């Protein structure tokens, strides 16, 4: 079946550090891939997406590249800020139907 | 264009009571999803509805849970005879036919005491 696996958190970084949150997926065919962010007490917000192999999604300094050969969609940011502290969810979907989420990775950025 | 609106934001019910969660999708969106999030876990798909139709309810418990999305009005997730294990955050998402991107509401946090 289809599934998403994320690295376990929490990930604790100092401000301006480099961030990588690993995400791998199992799926048949060619799903779309997403990263969502959830701030405390809030719903999920779409951070970025990629719809086909080798696509790079980017937003607010975050990037992720759809790697079909390694079935991965790792999230990266060159310099994190305290305001980036949140829970990050990797997800996949076929035709944007029925998003399947990873378990989430909590990021804590310290000043 | 208002986002996806869920209410109430917080709901407390005693065991055995009914919980009704409401979701008003974004204007023009005819597809609604419900997800459940247990503490420190990811979101689990429950049900996918289009106007007046349940398309996929494979994530819904077979008993006590039901969902609807009438022609007029919000989508409703109903939980009958709630138990402590139903305590969770319930999120609604909507999308339109063309964009495909799902937008999430802020969730309803249900606490069963």
Q: What is the pLDDT of residues A91-100, one digit of tens each?
A: 998 765 778 8
d(CA A59, nearest CA chain B) in Å: 15
Strand partners, A24: A5, A72
Residues B17-76 pLDDT 10s:
999 999 999 998 899 999 999 877 778 999 999 988 999 999 999 999 999 999 999 999
> In this complex, which of A32, A95, A104 lies closest to B42 when CB atoms are compared?
A104
Segment A19-33 mean pLDDT? 92
Segment A61-67 mean pLDDT? 97
The two three-digit tokens of residue B60, written as one number: 């819904």
Judge: B101–A49 Cβ closer than 8 Å, yes or no: yes
Q: Which residues of A touch B56 (CB under 8 A)?
A: 97-98
Helix (H) or strand (E) holding B13: strand B10-13
Residue B99 has pLDDT above 80, yes or no: no
**pLDDT tier for residue A10 given thresholds of 50, 70 and 90:** very high
Residue B98 has pLDDT above 70, yes or no: no
In our burial notation (b when 16+ CB lie closer than 10 A, e otherwise), range A13-37 reads beeeeebebebbbebeeebbbbbbb
Q: Are A40 and A92 in contact (CB under 8 A)?
A: no
**Looking at residue B89, what is its pLDDT?**
94
3-class DSSP state of A57: strand
- Which of A56-65, B10-19, B26-35, B92-101 is least confident? B92-101
Judge: B42–A44 Cβ closer than 8 Å, yes or no: no
């Amino acid at each position: 079946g289809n599934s998403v696996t994320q690295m376990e958190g929490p990930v604790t970084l100092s401000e301006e550090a480099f961030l990588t949150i690993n995400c791998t997926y199992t799926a048949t065919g060619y799903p779309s891939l997403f990263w969502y962010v959830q701030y405390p007490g809030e719903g999920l917000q779409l951070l970025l997406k990629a719809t086909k192999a080798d696509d790079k999604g980017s937003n607010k300094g975050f990037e992720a590249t759809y790697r079909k050969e390694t079935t991965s969609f790792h999230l990266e940011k060159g310099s994190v800020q305290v305001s980036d502290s949140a829970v990050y969810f990797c997800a996949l979907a076929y035709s944007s139907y029925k998003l399947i989420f990873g378990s989430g990775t909590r990021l804590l950025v310290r000043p | 264009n208002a986002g996806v609106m869920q209410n109430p934001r917080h709901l407390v019910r005693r065991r055995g009571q009914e919980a009704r969660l409401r979701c008003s999708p974004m204007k023009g969106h005819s597809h609604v999803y419900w997800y459940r999030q247990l503490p420190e876990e990811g979101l689990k798909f429950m049900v996918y509805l289009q106007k007046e139709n349940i398309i996929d309810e494979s994530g819904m418990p077979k008993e006590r849970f039901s969902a609807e999305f009438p022609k007029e009005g919000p989508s409703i997730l109903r939980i009958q005879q709630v138990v402590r294990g139903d305590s969770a955050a319930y999120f609604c998402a909507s999308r339109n036919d063309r964009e495909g991107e799902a937008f999430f509401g802020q969730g309803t946090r249900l606490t069963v005491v």
